[in-house]
Amino acid sequence: MQNQVVTANRLLDGSVVYLAADGSWTNSIRIANIAQEDAAVQGMLKSAADAEASQEIVGAYAIDVSVDTSSVTPTKYKELIRAKGPTTHTNFGMQALEDPTTAYMNGV
């Protein structure tokens, strides 16, 4: 199975968040919990449903990521833009706070 992480938007500010291993929701995909099998994804989506019910997040879903020793990168570019921030305003979003995880948008 393709590695997956669970993402959503935070209810309060709408920011992009990922489910971390400790059950918290983080803006950084680098510390997202990575599921390597379906059962793990289902468990994470269950946690997400609880977080939705407790007004922490909205609209959770799982996305495919590619993982190597130093980075976690969404495979779809829409998710890459969500993870980093708008390519037109590189001072906004996570890209403003930390180094890009990989060459952005495959060099675009």
Partner 1 sequence: MYRYDEFDRAFVKDRVNQLRDQVSRRLSGGLTEDEFKPLRLQNGVYLQLHAYMLRVAIPYGTLSSRQMHKLAHIARTYDKDYGHFTTRQNIQYNWPTLQDIPTILDELAEVDMHAIQTSGNCIRNVTADQYAGATADEIEDPRVWAEIVRQWSTLHPEFAFLPRKFKIAVTAAPNDRAAIRFHDIGLAIVKNDAGDVGFEVHVGGGLGRTPMVARKIRDFLPRHQLLSYLEATLRVYNMLGRRDNKYKARIKILVHETGVEEFTRLVEAEWSAVKEGTIDLPADEMERIAAYFAPPAFDALSNDPQELFAARVADPAFAAWEKANTFTHRATGYAIVNISLKPTGGIPGDATSAQMDAIADLAEKYSLDEIRVTHEQNLTLPHVRQADLPTVFNVLVSIGFADANIGLISDIICCPGLDYCSLANARSIPVSQRITERFADMKRQHDVGDLKLKISGCINACGHHHVGHIGILGVDRRGEEYYQITLGGSADENASIGKIIGPAFSSDSIVDAVEKVVDIYIGIRQDNESFLDTYRRVGLAPFKEKLYADAA
Q: What is the DSSP string of 20-75?
A: BTTS-EES-GGGB--B-SHHHHHHHHHHHHHHHHTTSEEEEEEEEEEE-SS-EEES
Q: Which residues of this chain interact with partner 1, rule CB under 8 A? A: 9, 11-16, 52-55, 58-59, 75-78, 81-82, 85-89, 92-93, 108
Cβ nearer to partner 1, comparing 21 with 49: 49
Kindly state the smallest distance separating residue 75's Cβ from partner 1, in Å. Answer: 8
Cβ nearer to partner 1, comparing 28 with 87: 87
Cβ nearer to partner 1, comparing 65 with 81: 81
Kindly state the smallest distance separating residue 105's Cβ from partner 1, in Å. Answer: 9
Kindly state the smallest distance separating residue 99's Cβ from partner 1, in Å. Answer: 19
Give the three-class secondary structure for 4.
strand
Which of 76, 71, 49, 72 minimizes the C-alpha distance to 60? Answer: 49
Kindly state the smallest distance separating residue 29's Cβ from partner 1, in Å. Answer: 13
Residue 32 pairs with which residues in a beta bridge?
20
